[in-house]
């Protein structure tokens, strides 16, 4: 006999303790296998990669990576040192607190008939979101901003029937003239 736990709560799972959340940015050579070698460093140390964004840099020979990880802060300095030693890594920095701008985006597809539409659109508008698709029975809303804002929007829209969500990872840029 299998016993399962069911829940009618449509809230996203709680996030790990904020102290154990870290955002790293890396500038790496744009070559096959670089991402795999970087991921192995995190796995060996017991860190989970919660979000990962990779894109070409201004120079196509390089890529920019933003990695959101969770794990104990005591081993993070060692991981950064190990990643920086990899031949294809130009640099790796942790961005914390007020030294960087961190944003992400979510698209939420909601079952939404004409009678619910005004309330859904009011929530989307409150979070500065936009409707990017609209049919007679559903809509897709897009919300972007800091992670806690995106989380709050998903929670508020959770009272409606969410069909699916697609969420980007964090993107980060250092404030001022500091390198990212």
Q: Domains in the chain: how many in total?
A: 2
> Is the residue at 8 inside a domain?
no
Residues 118, 74 within the same domain: no
23 and 83 housed in the same domain: yes
Same domain, 91 and 30: yes
Query: Cβ–Cβ contacts within 10 Å for residue 55, how many?
Result: 10
> CA-CA distance, 46 to 40, in Å (whole number)?
10
Q: Does one domain contain both 27 and 80? A: yes
Same domain, 45 and 86: yes
φ, ψ for residue 10, nearest 5 deg = -100, 20
Q: Are 79 and 44 in contact (CB under 8 A)?
A: no
Local structure of 13: helix, strand or coil: coil
Q: Which residues contact 137 (CB under 8 A, 6 or more apart)?
A: 111, 112, 113
Instruction: For the chain, 180 residues long, give each residue's pLDDT as a single digit of tens.
Output: 434 443 444 555 545 444 577 889 999 999 999 999 999 998 888 888 889 999 998 899 999 999 988 877 788 888 999 999 999 999 999 887 778 888 999 999 999 999 999 999 999 999 999 999 999 999 999 999 998 999 999 999 999 999 999 999 888 888 888 777
Asked if residue 26 and residue 83 are part of one domain, the reply reads: yes
Range of the domain at 139: 102-173
């Amino acid at each position: 006999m299998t016993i399962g736990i069911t829940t009618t709560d449509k809230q996203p799972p709680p996030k790990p303790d904020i102290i154990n959340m870290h955002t790293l940015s890396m500038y790496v050579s744009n070559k096959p296998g670089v991402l795999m070698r970087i991921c192995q460093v995190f796995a060996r140390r017991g860190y989970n990669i919660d979000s990962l964004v990779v894109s070409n840099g201004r120079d196509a020979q390089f890529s920019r990576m933003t990695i959101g990880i969770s794990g104990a802060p005591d081993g993070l300095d060692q991981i950064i040192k190990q990643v920086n030693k990899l031949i294809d890594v130009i640099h790796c920095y942790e961005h914390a607190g007020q030294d960087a701008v961190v944003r992400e985006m979510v698209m939420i597809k909601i079952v939404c008939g004409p009678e619910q539409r005004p309330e859904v659109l009011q929530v989307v508008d409150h979070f500065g979101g936009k409707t990017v698709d609209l049919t007679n029975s559903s809509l897709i809303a897009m919300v972007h901003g800091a992670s806690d804002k995106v989380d709050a929007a998903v929670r508020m829209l959770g009272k409606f029937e969410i069909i699916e969500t697609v969420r980007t990872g964090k993107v980060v840029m250092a404030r001022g003239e500091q390198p990212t």
